[in-house]
Amino acid sequence: MEPTDTTHMHDDLQMLPGKRLMGKVAVITGGARGIGAATAKVFAENGAYVVIADILDELGVALADSIGGRYIHCDVAEESDMASAIQLALSWKGSLDIMFNNAGIAGPGGSITNLNMDQVKYLLTVNVHGILHGMKYAAQAMIKGQKGGSIICTSSSAAIMGGLGGHAYTLSKEAIIGLMRSAACELGVYGIRVNCISPHGVPSEMLVGAYRHFLGKMDMKPEEVCRIVGESGSLLRGRGASTEDVAQAALFLASGDAGFITAHNLVLDGGYTSAISTMSFIYQCEEKGKHK
């Protein structure tokens, strides 16, 4: 009997439907709920070993157990916490292939004339320094591993269009895109790709909380936020965003399907930041006319 040639077996497995990350090791910050949790599940379903790094211990442990992953308490604002999260991946599986810098906070709102600068500084520590910490230690591990890798950062549509977020939040999210492009220039020589995802109107806990605050409806459901976004924040008739949409975008950027994509900001907004359309208004008027 001829010996089995397994040279390309691992690559072939990665091309199978549902196995696009077979054997890859990923760290996801803010992975205990929302976008991070949805992505952790999708990555695991596609064959990845996932380390969930978060400060929501109960949720994080339960999710990690359910997907065969690992959990670590990690405040991304603390550089040592981020270093420990990367080290967990290395000690568990010996390598790091994917870093999803997803953790972030909304921070203070209000007029620029009376911003609380202590709150602004804290937001920048989490949203910008936290991303930088993740990039730093992921890059170290990936360079040492000599296998390339994918670093993904969560930005926001607020980074590319004014008026979609508070001033401090907008500042932090645009800074992330600049940092991503700068890091991609350095790390490309090692085969490490660095990209951003900029979601718009995803009914995560953070966005739903913001809607509850500004609309004064503390019992507002995620489905209501999704409906509002679908009606006014998308060019796709009645179609709002979901955490699964972002998870699938992260899967694409993490996988070999995006092997020639780096320094790119993938905007998930249903076309909202690219064009202003009156078609949804016209359609609504037509529908109302039919029922008169």
169 is annotated as an active-site residue: yes
Which residues touch 194 (CB under 8 Å, ≥6 apart)? Answer: 135, 150, 151, 152, 153, 180, 181, 183, 184, 187, 262, 263
Options 169, 190, 272, 283, the catalytic residue:
169
Give the integer Cα–Cα distance in Å for 30 and 32: 6
55: its two tokens: 């400060």
- How would you label 136-145 residue by residue, b for 16+ Cβ within 10 Å and e otherwise? ebbbebbbeb
Residues 172, 124: contact at Cβ < 8 Å? yes
Strand order of the β-sheet with 49-54 is 70-73, 49-54, 25-29, 98-101, 149-154, 192-199, 265-268
**In 10 A of CB 195, how many CB atoms?**
24
Residue given tokens 């806990």 in the structure block: 205
Residue of 203, 202, 194, 205 whose CA lies nearest to 268: 202
Residue of 161, 119, 165 whose CA lies nearest to 273: 161
79: its two tokens: 């550089």
Known catalytic residues? Answer: 169
